Amino acid sequence: LYRGFVDELGPMDAAVIGGNLTATTEADFIDITLIGAVEPELLVRRSTGRLSHAVLVTGFPGRSAAGLKLLQKAGPDEDLSGHPLIKAYNRPVHRAREGRALARSGLVSAMIDTSDGLLGDLGHVCRESGLGADLFLERLPLDDDLKEAAAALEIKARDLVLGESDDYELIITCQADRVEAVRRAVASAGRAPVAEIGRLTEVGQGLRLIGPGGDVRRVRSAGWDHFSGSRP
């Protein structure tokens, strides 16, 4: 376990500096505190989105949720350890390098990761920035693994993308004319694709899903609730 921590922390120039052991008869768990610092000029907040700015997302949100659902559905004798979506759930990939590259670029107005789910974390950006957002369903990034899993699970692929999922992708907002520059900045730090999925709107419009035919559905920002202990 310790070697696993070291392997993950090393590339980010981080280290294990201490620990505390205790015992319980109720449950087995590991509690981790991660402490870091950022240069003030590189701090990008969730609260600084701007009206009409484009909404982007890295990678393919929903893969972790799909992996979890496949595990829950699997029989006791099924070995899914090599499945790419199971790997996405068991070992999600963070976008720290990409986030740093974007912060240095000065191209973005706000950022947040998707650890609470795409809708949930975009909702955080909207609330903290005093804005709404339109998401265009036909622009949501869907890879083949996710589509196949959705079919096997008999659910909509877009529900996996939008819902709670521990993916740690980045939601990014920027001026519309900077989208391609943002893609280049992300590419300079890794291989994550970047999809333009929406735009920030007036706060009174709330968070809306726009269908291919222009139909509009207003939604609440559902995501992991850290205080209720259950998914909403």
- Domain residue ranges of the chain, discontinuous segments joined by +: 46-219
Q: What is the pLDDT of residue 223?
A: 53
Q: What is the pLDDT of residue 4?
A: 87
Per residue of the chain (232 residues), give pLDDT as tens: 888 888 888 888 898 888 777 777 877 778 888 888 899 999 999 999 999 999 999 999 999 999 999 999 988 888 888 999 999 999 988 999 999 999 999 999 999 999 989 999 999 999 999 999 999 999 999 999 999 999 999 999 999 999 999 899 999 999 999 999 999 999 999 889 999 999 999 999 999 999 999 999 999 865 555 445 444 3
Burial classification of residue 231, based on how many CB atoms lie within 10 Å of its CB (0-12 exposed, 13-18 middle, 19 or more buried): exposed
> In CATH, what is the architecture of 46-219?
Alpha-Beta Complex (3.90)
User: CB atoms < 10 A from the CB of 64, how many?
Assistant: 28
Residue 213 DSSP label: T
3-state secondary structure labels for all residues of 34-86: CCCCCCHHHCCCCCCCCCCCEEEEECCCCHHHHHHHHHHHCCCCCCCCCCHHH
Tokens of 129: 């920035």
Q: Report the alpha-carbon distance of residue 107 to residue 105 in Å, rounded.
A: 5
DSSP reduced 3-state for 167 = coil
Phi, psi of 121 (to 5 degrees): -80, -30
C-alpha radius of gyration, the chain, whole number: 19
pTM: predicted TM-score of the whole model, two decimal places: 0.89
Q: Name the residue among 62, 195, 65, 157 with its Cα closest to residue 118.
A: 62
